[in-house]
Amino acid sequence: MTDPDVPAPAPAASAVATRRGDDGTTGLLFGGDRIAKDDVRTEAYGTIDEAVAALGLARAQLGLKDRLGTLAPGFGDLPDLILRLQRELFVAAAELATEPSAWDRQREGVSRVSASMVDGLDAALRDAEAHITMPTEFVVPGETPTSAAIELARTIVRRAERRAVTLSSEGLIPGPHLLPYLNRLADLLWVLARAAEQAESRSAPPSRPDRRRAAASRRDS
């Protein structure tokens, strides 16, 4: 039994839970005033955080294939590329999470998206396109677990881009390369999803059913 006259020990301090956000606010990079957790800036870099996690799901799936000895030829350096993209998204998030008064403290390629990061996406896009057969119409995601995870990341990046456009209209994006980076990244992820499918000798179904096949099925029924 515990002695009612002896106060209970204080809960152990947590390295993660600072409790400063219990009031619905969060801090920005390099300090400055705290902002609401539903601020447009928080929405933008929080959405990028979601994209990083979705890409982690794709990378984990590739790692599972590798461990099981079933990694199909053609995947190449896809796990390394995805890891690179995850790290670059941290840079994009840092740019969005900086108070305007601290923009001069940002560093290209570290806390602000650089032109070379956009160029790197263009190069990866050209390389990926050279190794796949491009679909001729919209496709339905979900043909393989890896491609589905990459597609999920793509749609999240598009949402982050929309949030960033709102910020840009309010003058809250310091550099000129963030929007092109997010736009190009979404394009690259679409191509990488097709590459992941084709590396397993699969292809995503078209968004519209084959009308000739549907007509033949009706005739046979």
Number of Cα atoms under 13 Å in the Cβ half of residue 56: 8
Query: In angstroms, how far is CA 7 from the centroid of its own chain?
Result: 48
Tens-place pLDDT, residues 82-119: 999 999 999 999 999 988 888 989 899 999 999 999 99
**Mean pLDDT of all residues in the chain?**
81
Confidence of residue 58 (pLDDT cuts 50, 70, 90): very high
C-alpha span between 120 and 35 (Å, rounded): 33
C-alpha span between 49 and 186 (Å, rounded): 15
- For the cut 70, the answer to whether the pLDDT of residue 11 exceeds it is no
Given this model, what pLDDT does residue 4 score?
54
Residue with tokens 């990459």: 150
- For the cut 60, the answer to whether the pLDDT of residue 220 exceeds it is no
Q: Which CATH superfamily is domain 25-133+140-220 in?
A: Cobalamin adenosyltransferase-like (1.20.1200.10)
Neighbours of 140 (CB within 10 A): 11
DSSP sequence for 169-197: HTT---SSSHHHHHHHHHHHHHHHHHHHH
C-alpha span between 86 and 218 (Å, rounded): 47
Residue 26, classed as helix, strand or coil, is: strand
The one-letter code for the residue type at 215 is A
Tens-place pLDDT, residues 179-207: 999 999 999 999 999 988 888 878 888 88
pTM for this predicted structure:
0.79
Supply 56's token pair: 């982690």
**Domain edges within the chain:** 25-133+140-220
